[in-house]
Structure 1
Amino acid sequence: MAKNNLICSLDIGTTNTRAIVGELDRDGIMNIIGIGQSKSTGLKKGIVIDIEATVRGIVDAVSQAERMIGEDIDSVYIAIGG
């Protein structure tokens, strides 16, 4: 991400993988500016059972968020649920 005030979070769940991008304003308030979502087909009860399917879901969700904000995302905070 080119701007230092952008933060991307990735939630990898058993059902869906979601990316969300927020931008901090001058007052430190987070404004959501991009989202992406894909089906999770590579996880079962929080365990990766198909790494390729998991990667495809991550790439799809992040790509959607990138298109929405018009910038490449190069780092994320990640959570894996189950």
Structure 2
Amino acid sequence: MPRDFRVKLLKNNRNPVGIFNSKATGEPAVCMSVACLLALRQAVAEARREASLHAWFQFDSPATPERTQMACDVGVEELVLA
């Protein structure tokens, strides 16, 4: 990393190829959205481990409640608050 790192923002700089001349169009949000799916996958893996089920399972997007329940391999009767 340089010791002296100076950044200057350009005012009124147009981007003719961006939507409404934007410099970014939601790329960070799209890239970070995969973190939610990976966190849910980890939670399902832990639930399966506690139930002594085999490690590998298919977990596709979109992660709907039904798909999550099927990946956990639990029945509806087990999803009751105590």
Give the TM-score, by structure 2 length: 0.28
Flag the structure with larger Rg.
2
Give the TM-score, by structure 1 length: 0.28
Relative CO higher for 1 or 2, CA cutoff 8 Å, sep ≥ 6?
1
Larger helix proportion of the pair: 2
Larger strand proportion of the pair: 1
